[in-house]
Amino acid sequence: MNVITFAKEHPVEIGAGIFVGGFVLIYLLKALSGGGSSAGASNQAAFLAAQSAQAQSGNALAAAQDTNQAQTEQTLIAAQASVANNQTWATAQEQGNTTNAQIAQTNANAAVAIAPYSVSSQLISTLGNVASLPGQTVTSSNSNGGFFGLGASSSSSSSVIPNPSATAAGSTLASLAGNLSSGGTFVTGNYTSH
């Protein structure tokens, strides 16, 4: 016998059978689950436990976000301080390079003025080497640790102090240039006027 043909010929009997079978199945499942009242209490306890777990995970997430925000701010403060420090050092280096260039120009000017005269090349060379010594960069810094790293700041300033030996050698070279331009000669440390 064909099931589809039977279902087409007897639709009321098939519908009633499905309804009764479903009802019996629901009754058996309810009986096996332990009854209605205890299942409701169990479901309510599970719901409350899930709500509690959700609240705990929300609190943990908020705490993690607060910690992450604080770490991000500390990292930003440290990065800003590092940038400021690097800018200060770059400015100090630039000033030092300018000072060294000025010393080198003074040396070059003195060498041009002295060149036509009879002068000990060893002495001029030594004075030129000493006069080209770089200045000393002096840095002072100030830092504030802030409150647990928040609000931390630092500042530093730099200045270039010319090398005293280089300054003295440059002055000597300039003095020699002035003396020689007035008609004198300088031979191995002795100035002779004409």
Cα 148 from chain centroid (whole Å)? 19
Q: Please report, in tens digits, the pLDDT of each residue of the chain (194 residues total).
A: 687 888 888 888 888 888 888 888 888 888 777 555 555 677 888 888 888 888 888 888 888 888 888 888 888 888 888 888 888 888 877 777 777 777 778 777 776 665 555 455 666 667 777 777 777 777 777 666 656 656 666 677 777 777 777 777 777 777 766 665 565 555 444 444 44
- Who's near 178: CB < 8 A, 6+ residues apart? 113
Q: pTM for the whole thing?
A: 0.28
Sign of the four-CA dihedral 17, 21, 27, 28: positive
Domain layout of the chain by residue ranges: 3-28+36-192
* DSSP element (H, E) containing 141: strand 136-144
